[in-house]
Amino acid sequence: KPIIIRIPLGSLTGVDKELLSVAKIVDGKLVFQGGFVDGNTIVESRDAFSSYVVVENKVSFNDLAKVQSWAGRQIEVVAAKGAIEGKKAGVFAPSDNVTRAEFAKMLIKALDLDNVKATESFSDVQASDWFAQYVAAASQNGIINGRTDTEFAPNATITRAEMATMIARALKAKRNLQDVADVDGALEGFSDAAQIHSTLKAGVAFAADKGLIIGNNGKFLPNDNATRAEAAVILYRTINFK
């Protein structure tokens, strides 16, 4: 099982602590793993011993103008942790939809739930796929189910209700939290609550009750596809959930 490492930090004067990330040194390159600052240390769960360094990881994108006011900082921080990446250098593509495989990776990395020994048995996920280890970790933690008993549908876009449910399950697995006692009560502020699939209502209620995902003009829009900017904001809230 993964272990928790605590790395002592030097002087943090002039350092943006939210951008600090544990980085694994792989073939001379840095692979960012995340971690959170606790006092004068950074804490991170790792599933393998290796060489690590702590870096103030400043990631910038040149296409955030339209979302800067409500998602700019969140994208910067989540990218610094290695939980979300640009489509290419300097390009984040904030309005692009998020696939189920992409969000599985984002969530596993953001919440520090990597486990290279996790396994899955979906017929449409091959061991060589870039997302296989993240789908396996998410499946093992009960965070995500397949679209059917045998298929994961990695390239299908993820809906807002599915994203909320995955966030809820991940936090409950990480923090040993419980579902909201009054699901209907937590959803009563959304005029379209009836459109939320019955299997996703508990997750949406949890995410809404904890302020992790909010509606728009009194609607939750559960079946709308989630964008990359929305995903970054929700991951930021989840990382900082107390």
pLDDT tens per residue across span 153-192: 999 999 999 999 999 999 988 888 899 999 999 999 899 9
Place of tokens 């979302």: 67
Torsion of CA 55, 138, 204, 157, to 10 degrees: 90
Predicted confidence at residue 105, as pLDDT, reads 92
Q: Is the pLDDT of residue 1 over 80?
A: no
Q: Is the pLDDT of residue 72 over 80?
A: yes
pLDDT of 101-144, one tens digit each? Answer: 999 999 999 988 888 888 888 999 999 999 999 999 898 888 88
Whether 209 contacts 180, CB under 8 Å: yes
Sign of the CA dihedral with 186 first, then 95, 146, and 178 last: negative
Whether 77 contacts 235, CB under 8 Å: no
Query: Model confidence at 71, in pLDDT bands (50, 70, 90)?
Result: very high
Predicted confidence at residue 131, as pLDDT, reads 92
Query: Model confidence at 145, in pLDDT bands (50, 70, 90)?
Result: confident
Report the C-alpha gap between 59 and 148 in whole angstroms: 37
Question: Side chain identity at 19, as an amino acid letter?
Answer: L
Predicted confidence at residue 140, as pLDDT, reads 86
3-state class percentages of the chain: helix first, strand second, coil last, to nearest 5 = 35, 20, 50
Query: Model confidence at 19, in pLDDT bands (50, 70, 90)?
Result: very high
Torsion of CA 56, 59, 64, 65, to 10 degrees: 60
Q: Give the 3-state secondary structure of residue 170.
A: helix
What are the two backbone dihedrals, phi and then psi, of residue 159, each rounded to the nearest 5 degrees?
Answer: -90, 165
Q: Is the pLDDT of residue 90 over 80?
A: yes
Question: Side chain identity at 14, as an amino acid letter?
Answer: G
Whether 90 contacts 62, CB under 8 Å: yes
Count of all residues that appear for the chain in the document: 242
Report the C-alpha gap between 60 and 75 in whole angstroms: 9
Torsion of CA 94, 98, 101, 102, to 10 degrees: 10
Question: What average pLDDT score do residues 13-37 get?
Answer: 94
Give the mean pLDDT of the chain: 92
Predicted confidence at residue 146, as pLDDT, reads 82
Rounded percentage of the chain residues whose pLDDT exceeds 90? 74
pLDDT of 222-232, one tens digit each? Answer: 999 999 999 99
